[in-house]
Amino acid sequence: MITRVFLVCTLLLLLSGPARAEIALELTGKATEGGLLIGKTDPGASVTLDGKAVRTSEDGHFLLGFGRDETGSKQLQIALMGQVIRRDIAIAERAFKTERVDGLPERKVTPDPKALERIRQESAEMAAVKASSTAKPLFLSGFLWPARGRISGIYGSQRILNGKPRRPHYGTDVAAPVGTPVHAIADGKVVYVHDGMFFNGKTVLIDHGLGLRSVYIHLSETLILQGSMVRAGERIGAVGQTGRATGPHLHFALTLDETPIDAELLLGPMPE
């Protein structure tokens, strides 16, 4: 009898509109230039940002990334079974600094035609790898600093190389002796390992899911095979000075699809 009453009540609840639960939405991270938001909604919900579809994992996770010069407000919309919720996201502005780097070998600043062909080939290879990304939210492992050392370069600074203005520095530099261990910043799949790119030198690229990737360059050695899965904190290589580098350091960078993200916002201060 009790069971039957309970069932009827449940049915009434299901049939009456107002009792229906709102679509779930959780956002963590910083809505700022170079920032990444990790979103979680109900499985099966469709997510758009300013009308553009946002990829979601099976369990309802999604990522929103904002570029270095992305300002203003964006509208997040989530729809599920005829229900819609909207949230305005205001992107906070930041000031970026100007950095001068002098004394680089001239052919690494202004490459000759042969080098340009090699650079073109290498970036085509990288682009092909970046055409797909796993739908699994591997980034939920959280983020760890990939190397210990002095932070010698930060995200977003305008670079002037040998007096010539170049694109902003999209990454974080950690100055450390050659051979200092380099670790994966989060769980992921190693999708690219290169033994010596023109600018990057020895390189590892890791896919963390839903278009989020980390890259580690100028390595002295790589210790992981292309195609393997890695855990946050797992050793993948060592600090070096290969490619275009003025001294031994790790340059690492995060991107969401093509948008460069400031990893430091996710990592917090460098551990002692």
Shortest gap between Cβ of 245 and Zn ion (angstroms)? 8
- For Zn ion, the closer of residues 91 and 174 by Cβ is 174
Structure tokens at 144: 């760890």
The angle at the Cα of 75, spanning 72 to 77, to the nearest 5 degrees, equals 165
Task: Kindly tell me which residue out of 111, 153, 181, 233 binds Zn ion, with binding defined by CB under 5 A.
Answer: 153
- For Zn ion, the closer of residues 99 and 234 by Cβ is 99
C-beta separation of 42 from 22 below 8 A: no
- For Zn ion, the closer of residues 187 and 262 by Cβ is 262
- For Zn ion, the closer of residues 256 and 263 by Cβ is 263
Q: Per rule CB under 5 A, is residue 136 in the interface with Zn ion?
A: no
Cα–Cα dist 90/76, whole Å: 11
C-beta separation of 144 from 233 below 8 A: yes
- For Zn ion, the closer of residues 33 and 173 by Cβ is 173
140 phi and psi angles, rounded to 5 deg? -65, -10
Q: What contacts 69, CB < 8 A, 6 or more positions away? A: 33
Question: Measured between alpha carbons, how far apart are the two ends of the chain, in Å?
Answer: 64
Options 128-136, 138-146, 166-174, 182-190: segment touching Zn ion (CB under 5 A) = 166-174
Shortest gap between Cβ of 72 and Zn ion (angstroms)? 28
Shortest gap between Cβ of 18 and Zn ion (angstroms)? 54
Cα–Cα dist 71/89, whole Å: 10
The residue count for binding Zn ion (CB under 5 A) is 4
Q: Per rule CB under 5 A, is residue 251 in the interface with Zn ion?
A: yes
Options 17-25, 64-72, 224-232, 248-256: segment touching Zn ion (CB under 5 A) = 248-256
Options 151-159, 193-201, 219-227, 236-244: segment touching Zn ion (CB under 5 A) = 151-159
Shortest gap between Cβ of 153 and Zn ion (angstroms)? 4
Q: Per rule CB under 5 A, is residue 187 in the interface with Zn ion?
A: no
Shortest gap between Cβ of 136 and Zn ion (angstroms)? 29
Using the structure block, give the residue that is written with the tokens 């992107």: 91
- Residue 55 CA: distances (Å) to CA of 8, 61, 164, 228, 256: 38, 9, 38, 24, 11
Which residue has its beta carbon closest to Zn ion?
251
Task: Kindly tell me which residue out of 173, 207, 262, 264 binds Zn ion, with binding defined by CB under 5 A.
Answer: 173
Cα–Cα dist 76/66, whole Å: 13
- Residue 202 CA: distances (Å) to CA of 108, 175, 254: 16, 16, 17
C-beta separation of 199 from 119 below 8 A: yes
Residues that bind Zn ion (CB under 5 A): 153, 171, 173, 251
